[in-house]
Amino acid sequence: DGGITQSPKYLFRKEGQNVTLSCEQNLNHDAMYWYRQDPGQGLRLIYYSQIVNDFQKGDIAEGYSVSREKKESFPLTVTSAQKNPTAFYLCASSRSSGRGMGGYTFGSGTRLTVV
Amino acid sequence: DQQVKQNSPSLSVQEGRISILNCDYTNSMFDYFLWYKKYPAEGPTFLISISSIKDKNEDGRFTVFLNKSAKHLSLHIVPSQPGDSAVYFCAASALEGYSTLTFGKGTMLLVSP
């Protein structure tokens, strides 16, 4: 079955540490995305990538970094520069821009907590 | 500045009744709209979409209505079922270059037996 896998489901980080969230898809989608969900804030775009070796900042990219070395993978690093990293992180993928055919396919998310 | 607004954080409906979730947008370039359903600790799943060339789209119990002049869309669920209890996100996309989806803040629907 094709899908998008995020790991781990729960992650705890000490203040000042960088942490990397994994996202893998086997849908053969070109585009991948990272969103952050906070209570009452909806989904906010962090970074997105249309093709391998290329990515663009979203609305809240500060304190985050990404890479897209393979079509299937789009890891997100939450750096120590991110002031409020505790959140639910969602990865998504789509064919081209996601217009049509149901838009994006989402992973099941990673809950990051800073302790 | 929020371009997609869901002004009702929550909605309670009795089983069997109609649920109406509303969404307003400000960007006149938006021409493709989607609704996603999300359960706690899970990713959103696609529910239904509509293009601006239409004013209505149906899929089973779910119907989306689009009023372009008012920049307003709504999702109707008839009849509502307890399993419909979830957060519903409205999303929009613009036909300008490469456009990502812009999401609203969501409306939590609770359907009681």
Q: Provide mean pLDDT across the span A66-77.
A: 97
The mean pLDDT of chain A is 92
**How far off is chain A from B64, nearest CA to CA, in Å?**
14
- Pairing relationship of beta strands A10-13 and A110-114 according to DSSP bridges: parallel
Structure token digits, residue A80: 């120590």
* pLDDT at position A97: 67
**How far off is chain B from A107, nearest CA to CA, in Å?**
5
CB spacing of A98 vs B49 below 8 angstroms: no
Q: Provide mean pLDDT across the span A70-87.
A: 94
* pLDDT at position B10: 96
B97: left (phi over 0), alpha (psi -120 to 50) or beta: left
pLDDT band per the 50, 70, 90 thresholds, residue A2:
confident
pLDDT band per the 50, 70, 90 thresholds, residue B36:
very high
pLDDT one-digit tens code per residue, B66-87: 999 999 999 999 999 999 999 9
Residue of B nearest to A96 (CA): B98
pLDDT one-digit tens code per residue, A79-100: 988 889 999 999 999 987 666 6
Residue of B nearest to A32 (CA): B100
Residue found by looking up tokens 């203040």 in the block: A15
CB pairs under 8 A between A and B: 65
CB spacing of B43 vs A58 below 8 angstroms: no
Q: Provide mean pLDDT across the span A22-50.
A: 93
* pLDDT at position A24: 97
Whether A97 and chain B come into contact, CB under 8 Å, resolves to yes
Write out residues 53-82 of B within 8 Å (CB-CB) of A: none
Burial class (CB in 10 A: 0-12, 13-18, 19+), A111: middle
Residue of B nearest to A112 (CA): B41
pLDDT band per the 50, 70, 90 thresholds, residue B94:
confident
Chain A hits for B9, Cβ within 8 Å: 40
CB spacing of A106 vs B105 below 8 angstroms: no
- Pairing relationship of beta strands B107-112 and B10-14 according to DSSP bridges: parallel
**How far off is chain A from B81, nearest CA to CA, in Å?**
23
